[in-house]
């Protein structure tokens, strides 16, 4: 199949005047180019991922680079055979990535952790007294993470401050390395860690996506797949002999990187499910959810 589409992943922390007006303007731009995806805009900047034809996405990049409000923005680009989003969503948000600190929010334009290139990151991971912290949600790190990383049991990025409060003492005095998908969460995460008194904090520049594309590292020591917020769900990162699958089908226990949502609508939990088990046992994730579905079937009227 011809890869005549592209997927763009990008963000920029920059103060925007009249963000509501910019939402409408930006939506019109994307619609004119036939782009699909999810774009969050706020007073602190823009955070987005879109898909479209090569011509359309190239024009989109050029437009943002030539606009003083978004000049200097960096795009991470993947080839595709078609759209990976069902529709276009452009929203105004108080934060372009929700950390939920309110008035105590951190500003990545003021300070963040030291930025490490992929090669520097690979070397730093194997240093002494180092702790690598995954800055993503639990369902993302379950699919893939750096070897030996600490993966907080959190369901939302805004839960991280609470997690840190319970683990701060075990992290004191250590060299902290943080990473996320494309880098945006680590901008705030590393700044927050510095605000909390941690002195040696670094972040992976460009995130996992950039690390996997770098010819010097080729994704070495990233285990599993990188979770992405589009129809692909998971993408390869590691192209070295350290590549491995870290997730398992919850029903049979076989290695599996295939995420499915529970068929019980009140649950909808993401879980790993191989094709064979889905065909023979369905997409329900637990006996409790199976009982809920059975109870609903008993009370629904028949045609």
Tokens 């005095």 — which residue? 173
Helices (H) and strands (E) in the chain, counts: 9, 15
Catalytically annotated residue among 180, 186, 277, 289: 180
Contacts of 246 (CB under 8 A, 6+ apart): 143, 144, 145, 223, 224
Residues 141, 144, 147: CA angle, nearest 5 degrees: 95
Tokens 């997409």 — which residue? 283
**Residue of 204, 37, 194, 65 lying closest to 121 (CA atoms):** 204
Contacts of 216 (CB under 8 A, 6+ apart): 118, 119, 122
21 contacts 77 by C-beta, under 8 angstroms: no
How far is the CA of 90 from the CAs of 11, 37, 46, 294, in angstroms?
A: 14, 8, 10, 38
Q: What is the DSSP letter of 103?
A: G
Q: Cα–chain-centroid distance for residue 170?
A: 26
How far is the CA of 44 from the CAs of 17, 27, 105, 135, in angstroms?
A: 9, 18, 11, 20
Residue 180 falls in the annotated catalytic set: yes
Could you tell me whether strands 45-53 and 5-13 are parallel, antiparallel, or unpaired per DSSP bridges? antiparallel
Q: Give the number of C-alpha atoms closer than 13 A to the C-alpha of residue 113, restricted to the C-beta side.
A: 30
How far apart are alpha carbons 35 and 40 in whole angstroms? 15
Catalytic residue IDs: 180
């Amino acid at each position: 199949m011809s890869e005549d589409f592209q997927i763009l992943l990008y963000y920029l922390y920059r103060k925007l005047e009249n963000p509501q007006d910019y939402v409408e303007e930006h939506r019109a731009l994307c619609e004119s180019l036939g782009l699909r995806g999810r774009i969050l805009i706020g007073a602190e900047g823009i955070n987005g991922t879109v898909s479209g034809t090569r011509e359309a996405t190239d024009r989109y990049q050029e437009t943002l680079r030539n606009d003083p409000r978004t000049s200097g923005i960096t795009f991470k680009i993947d080839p595709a055979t078609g759209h990976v989003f069902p529709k276009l969503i452009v929203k105004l948000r108080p934060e372009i990535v929700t950390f939920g600190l309110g008035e105590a929010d951190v500003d990545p334009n003021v300070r963040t952790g030291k930025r490490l290139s992929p090669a520097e990151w690979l070397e730093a991971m194997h240093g002494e007294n180092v702790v690598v912290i995954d800055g993503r949600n639990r369902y993302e790190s379950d699919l893939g993470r750096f070897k030996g990383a600490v993966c907080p049991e959190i369901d939302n990025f805004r839960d991280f401050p609470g997690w840190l409060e319970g683990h701060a003492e075990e992290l004191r005095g250590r060299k902290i390395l943080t990473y996320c998908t494309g880098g945006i969460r680590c901008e705030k995460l590393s700044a927050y860690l510095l605000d909390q008194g941690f002195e040696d904090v670094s972040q992976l520049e460009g995130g996992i996506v950039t690390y996997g594309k770098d010819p010097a590292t080729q994704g070495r020591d990233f285990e599993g797949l990188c979770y992405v917020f589009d129809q692909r769900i998971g993408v390869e990162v590691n192209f070295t002999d350290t590549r491995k699958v870290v997730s398992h089908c919850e029903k049979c226990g076989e290695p599996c990187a295939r995420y499915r949502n529970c068929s019980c609508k009140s649950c909808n939990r993401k879980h790993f499910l191989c094709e064979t088990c889905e065909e023979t046992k369905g997409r329900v994730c637990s006996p409790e959810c199976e009982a809920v579905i059975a109870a609903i079937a008993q009370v629904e009227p028949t045609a």
